[in-house]
Every structure is written in structure tokens, then in C-alpha cells.
Amino acid sequence: MGQPRMNKKEDISIVLCGEAGQGVQTVERILVHVLKRSGFHVFATKEYMSRVRGGSNSTTIRVSSKRVSACVDKIDILVPFHAGAIDHVRKRISAQTMVFADPQIVPENASAVAGERVNIPFVQIAEELGGSIYLNIVAASVVLGIFLIDEGLISECIRQYFSQKGDEIIQKNLEAVRKGYEIGRDISQSGRFKAEIPPDPQVADEILLNGAEAVGFGALAAGCNFLSSYPMSPSTGVMVFLSQQMMDFDVLVEQAEDEISAINMAVGASYTGARSLVTTSGGGFALMIEGISLSGMIETPVVVHLAQRPGPATGLPTRTEQADLEMVLYAGHGEFPRIIFAPGNLEQAIMLTQKAFDLADKFQIPVLILTDQYFVDSYYNTPSLDFSQLKAERHVVKTDKDYKRYSLQSDGISPRGIPGYGEGLVGVDSDEHDQEAHITEDLELRTKMVDKRLHKMALIKEETVPPALFGPQEFKILIIGWGSTYPIIKEAMEIIGRDDLAFLHFSQIFPLHERTQPLINQAEQIIIIENNATSQLGRFLKLHTGVDIQSKILKYSGLPFSVEEIVEGVLNRIK
């Protein structure tokens, strides 16, 4: 596989690989936070098996002289924590890879690698300190020593990280830092691997966010005050984040007994005036579909975040895919309006989640936010975000005695009251109903009620987010992507560097913006890129534009695209 044109001095990729339970994520967190605080741009993503112990899990950390938010295949530094690590990432190892390995963990004759090997006695150092538990800190410190990070900053972070463990544990970890740092510094000073990325002092003050936290921040900015969910990988991070904010932001987080209860709780809370969120994954959403229809029928807003993972059934519960698009497009029996967002980066996740609540409230509909495992588990540094422009808009009216919950309106939007706010009776009914929410089988009225609900689409389309076009306006070749592929394709575009190539990214899938058709018609060649097997967005675009996109780059192994894969795939398909 071809490597992108990246200068090792300006962009270094570090991979840590070990079994579940070996603390790979601990090393990741320490490395990323220390590197960021030292002024380096960082990006981290992980892939892991659905098991508590064993297997092979890896994390990739990019350290760069510029902002990075996409995963790459290349490995500049590999730290294997178990014998199977080499085989697990073998396809990513090149002659430029430096492998920091302990012969007690990975015997020199056990698994040959293309890159340069540096033997480091991780096990011996850890045992001298008191046990293998210290191996991770030694390894992390070797890496930090190569970057010549201020050793005092590393020690400060270690003290903070292990502050609840007692002074003896802290001191042993500090000794592990010292020993590992010396090894890394000696490697750097010898010239065997020298990181020459200039730090930027402003980066130190930036924030680190992952996708789950970004969705959570967007919900808080929108005034979300109720979440009901059943834990389901990879969506649970949003529930965990909001549960940590319960006291500061007056949010009630309820772990429901199942997904059916979760969606019905959320709809019920919205009926009483709460701004409700549900976070789930594909299998959980499948159980919620009747609740989505309930939201559509009783015109009660609800926001659902769906973090996609490979199916069908349990599939690969800790992996990533973009294969739930058609499910959310058509979820629910009957016909009713909905909105579907698919953020591509952290800023979009915040802004679109906030917008999702406002539009759900304004149009009294379900709004869905599609992410995936890769998106919610990846994080990078970003400038401090200004939330002052994000205003939570409420669309609730104070009712009078003659209030009719489902009064027929030409725009389809009946004034929405909530119980206890005003003098009116706020009825709801999951059966077809009249203007006062009484059950009815008046078939003429049924037609009027369906028309009323569907008339909202005209106004919804006025607030549709247009697809973003990157590259020349007078393009000949158009790449199309959606959701989490956004930063990966953007970086690949920069590497390819053609002046006739543009990228069209959809952060809102439904309804499509009117700009879609002319942009697609302009292209002489279209290449669509999706993390699924059947090009679900491609089929949807054909339905609405009549254009059958023949050139596809599809991946459905459970792993995200890398920048190199996109570069190679696009170049191979350009006519």
C-alpha cells in the first residue's frame, strides 16, 4: 500500500499494541495529554476486540506540526506489549518503523519485522520497581523521552493521574518515568530516532475532546436536561459524559432497563417539557423504532444519537461501520417527517447536536444524529470553543382554555403546549386523533392530519444544512463522503493535490439540500466513499438525483479508512 507524502519530522505515528487488560488505554491517555500540554498537535484513535482479557488491541497516536484529525496506516514507532502484537499490525509496519520491544515479550527470532528493532528491557525495569504493572509507564516515558518532553511536566501528570493511589505507588511510577525517559532521551540524542516537531505554546491551552464528548457538549449547549439510555457499545460514552455533568448542568440521566423503555421515557419526558436525548447503537435503535413512530404520531420531539457499529445482530460490537443509514432513513411504520445529521468532526458534532434539539423542538419531530465507533472513540486537540453563539430556542406556548394540541395549521406546526403551563388540556394519543387529541376514525380528518404532519417538510427543507464542498469550484472529479470520513478524505485530497478534484461532504443526510443535484450534475466523474458494503448513501442519492454512482470505495471490515487507503483508492479510480 502506498504511503502518503508525510515528513517523519513533521508527523509521527506511534502505535501501542497489547492484550485487553494490559493498560494500553492508560498509556494512550498519558501520552496524549502530556504531548498536548507540551505544545504538540495530537490525534488518537483505537481499535479493540470485544473481550475483557486477551486478544490484541491497539491505539494509534499521531504527533504533528499541524492539526491532525485522521488515522493513518504508517507506523513510525511501534511498542508491542505482547507477542501477538507484531502479527496484529504487520501490514502497517514498513522499513521506516522503529520497534521498541522487550526480548522477553517479543523474542528476536519469533517474528521478523521490516523495521528497525530496539531492544528495551521493559519487563526487567518493571519487576525491579515492583511488578509488571509499571511496564506501561516505562514504555510511555521512553516515547516521551524521544520527544525530549520536560521531565517535570511528565512527573506532574503522573502525580495527577495516580493521585488516588497513595504516595508509594506515585513514587514508583515516578521512578518508572525516570528510567524510561533516560532510554528515550538516549535514543533521541544518539540520532537513531529524532523527533524534530516544533512545539506550539498555544496548543498547550487547547482542549482535548473525543466524539462522544462533542455530542454531549452539543446536547448541553441545547439545554438537554434528560437522557434515558440502555448501555450499548459504542454509544455509551455520551451517557457517561452527561452523567458526569448531572450536578453542574441539572441533567437527569436514567439508565433504563432496555431500549424500549429508554425511547418511551425520552418521549414522555419531552411531553412534559424536557429536552430529551437517547444514545444507542444499531441493535438498540432497532428496538426503539416503534417509539420513533410514536414521536412522529404524537408530534413530540426527541433526539436520538446512534453510534454505528457493524451488524447484523451483535456483529462486531467494538468496531466501526456506516451501515445504519438506511435503517434510520426508513425507521418507523407510517409516514412522518424526520431529520438526520451525520457530523464529520468535533465542531460539527457540537453544532449539529445543538441544532438537532432546536429543530426537534421547532418541528415537533424525531431528529437523529449518526456517528460511529471510530468517531466517538477518536480525539484530538481543538481550540477552545465559543458556546456563546449557541442559543437554545424553545417553541412551547402557554395554553388557554380553548387550546387544541393538534389544531390544523397551514404550515403543519400546531402550537405545542405542555402540561401545567397555562390553562389548557394538553392531550396526546398514539391513535389517529382529532385536533383536541381524541381518538378518531373520521377518514377525512385522518387525511388532513397526515397532510398536516407532512406539510412540515417544506419548512424543514429551508433549514437544511448544505453539503460542504472542498476544492475548486470548477471541478471535474467529485469525491462524495458523509459522516466520519470527513477529515480522512480531506487529508487525502491535500496529498493528491489535483486542481480538478473536489470533495463533497454530507453532514445532513435527510432531507437533502437543494444544492446537491447541481453539484452532482456538474461532475464528469464521481467517486463515493463509504464504510459499508452496499453504498447506502449512493443508493439514496440515486433515488433523489437519478445519478447512479459507479465508482465506489467501500470498506466494511470493521476498521475505518486510513488516509493512505483513500489516496490509493482515488488515484486508482481516476479516469
Identify which has the larger pLDDT, 492 or 163.
Answer: 492
- Please give the distance of CA 16 from its chain centroid, rounded to a whole number: 21
Q: Which fold has domain 468-573?
A: Rossmann fold (3.40.50)
Q: What local confidence, expressed as pLDDT, does residue 61 receive?
A: 97
* Three-class SS state of 393: coil
The single-letter code of the amino acid at 48 is: Y
Q: How many CA atoms lie within 13 A of 229 on its CB side?
A: 31
What is the CB neighbour count within 10 angstroms for residue 156?
13
Separation between Cα atoms, residue 360 and residue 366, nearest integer Å: 6
Identify the architecture of domain 11-205 in CATH: 3-Layer(aba) Sandwich (3.40)
Assigned C-alpha cell, 185: 532521551
Rounded CA-CA distance 372/359 in Å is 22
CB atoms within 10 A of CB 572: 11
CB-neighbour burial class of residue 543 (10 A; exposed 0-12, middle 13-18, buried 19+): exposed
The Cα–Cα gap between 405 and 399 comes to 9
Asked if 59 and 26 touch (Cβ cutoff 8 Å), the reply is: no
Give the model's pLDDT for residue 7. Answer: 46
Region 123-138: mean pLDDT is 92
The closest of 79, 84, 80, 72 to 7, measured between CA atoms, is: 72
Q: Position of cell 517535570?
A: 152
In angstroms, the CA 159 to CA 157 distance is 5
Judged on CB neighbours under 10 Å (0-12, 13-18, 19+), 422 is middle
Of all helices (H) and strands (E), which one includes residue 340? strand 339-341
Mean per-residue pLDDT for 443-455? 98
pLDDT value at 363 more than 70: yes
Q: Distance between CA atoms of 377 and 238, rounded to whole angstroms?
A: 11
Q: Which of 342-351, 361-370, 391-400, 433-442 has the lowest mean pLDDT?
A: 391-400
Predicted TM-score (pTM) of this structure? 0.95
**pLDDT at residue number 112:** 63
SS3 372: strand
Mean pLDDT of 87-113: 87
Q: Quick: pLDDT tens for 194-252.
A: 888 999 999 999 999 999 999 999 999 999 999 999 999 999 999 999 999 999 999 99
> Higher confidence at residue 392 or residue 451?
451
The yes-or-no answer to whether 11-205 and 468-573 have a common fold is no
More confident residue, 109 or 134: 134
Percent of the chain at pLDDT > 90 equals 88
CA 398 to chain centroid, in Å, comes to 38
Measured CA to CA, the distance from residue 445 to residue 435 in angstroms comes to 9
Torsion angles phi and psi, residue 19, rounded to 5: -80, 155
Average pLDDT on 112-122 reads: 85
Q: Which amino acid is at 488?
A: I
Every domain of the chain and the residues it spans: 11-205, 208-382, 396-463, 468-573
- Give the architecture-level CATH label for domain 208-382: 3-Layer(aba) Sandwich (3.40)
Distance of alpha carbon 239 from the chain centroid:
14
- Residue-wise DSSP of 230-248: ---TTTHHHHHHHHHTHHH
Q: Is the pLDDT of residue 114 over 80?
A: no
For residues 79-84, give the mean pLDDT: 92
Burial of 439 (0-12, 13-18, 19+ CB in 10 A): exposed
Three-state DSSP class for residue 263: helix
Residue 110: predicted pLDDT: 60
How many CA atoms are closer than 13 Å to the CA of 48, on its beta-carbon side?
A: 23
What integer best gives the mean pLDDT of the chain?
A: 94
Q: Give the tens place of pLDDT for each residue, 46-63.
A: 999 998 888 899 999 999
- State the cell numbers at 496: 493528491
Say which residue the cell 466501526 belongs to: 320
Residue type, 291: G
